[in-house]
Amino acid sequence: MPDDDVSVTPWDHAHDVRTVLDAIEDPFMLMTAENTEDNEDSGVAEFLPLMHGWHLNVHAVGALHGAFCDHQWLIPQLPLSDEDLAGWIGTLAPARAVRIQQAYPLAFFDLHLRGRRQRLLEGPSPAFPELLFT
């Protein structure tokens, strides 16, 4: 990688970490947002096929990257227009984003650490219609 490259995630440069990922067979779940799936520079399409073990990508329709961190609660407190707010966190309601962040990682860890079947990870759920399995 060039010295001026400041990316910090493996999917930013999946081609650069191919050798490392070829050896990874551990379970892996990725939660993506609107700008991840459609952005060919995200590397998701290149990254997931490198995973040899159990892996899943759940995609939240209406969410932006900021919906998966504290932004979904903090940013709406600022005096922003609806359009500007949607530019920060997307159109997914903050309470839904938090519920997704609670349910899916918990199900992932219950499945892979406790060995408990998790129907939530087996396909789309009526409880979370905004999530797509890709």
Q: What is the pLDDT of residues 50-89, one digit of tens each?
A: 778 899 999 999 988 777 787 788 888 899 999 998 888 8
Assess if residue 91 is contained within a domain: yes
pTM over 0.85: no
Assess if residue 75 is contained within a domain: yes
pLDDT-derived band at 2 (thresholds 50, 70, 90) equals very low
More confident residue, 49 or 130: 130
Please give the Cα distance from 73 to 67 (Å, whole number).
9
Instruction: Tell me the Ramachandran region of residue 5: left when phi exceeds 0, alpha when psi lies from -120 to 50, beta otherwise.
Output: beta
Assess if residue 132 is contained within a domain: yes
Assess if residue 126 is contained within a domain: yes
Assess if residue 99 is contained within a domain: yes
Q: To the nearest 10°, the Cα dihedral for 8, 46, 131, 112?
A: -80
Cβ neighbours of residue 53 under 8 Å, at least 6 residues apart? 24, 25, 26, 27, 28
Assess if residue 70 is contained within a domain: yes
Assess if residue 24 is contained within a domain: no
Task: State yes or no: pLDDT of 118 exceeds 90.
Answer: yes
Please report the pLDDT score of residue 1 as a whole number.
Answer: 43
Domain range for 131 is 50-134
Please give the Cα distance from 129 to 134 (Å, whole number).
14
Instruction: Tell me the Ramachandran region of residue 86: left when phi exceeds 0, alpha when psi lies from -120 to 50, beta otherwise.
Output: alpha
Please give the Cα distance from 125 to 128 (Å, whole number).
5
Please give the Cα distance from 4 to 22 (Å, whole number).
26
Query: Could you give the number of structural domains in the chain?
Result: 1
Kindly report, residue by residue over 9-52, the tens digit of the pLDDT: 555 555 555 555 565 688 989 888 876 554 555 677 777 777 78
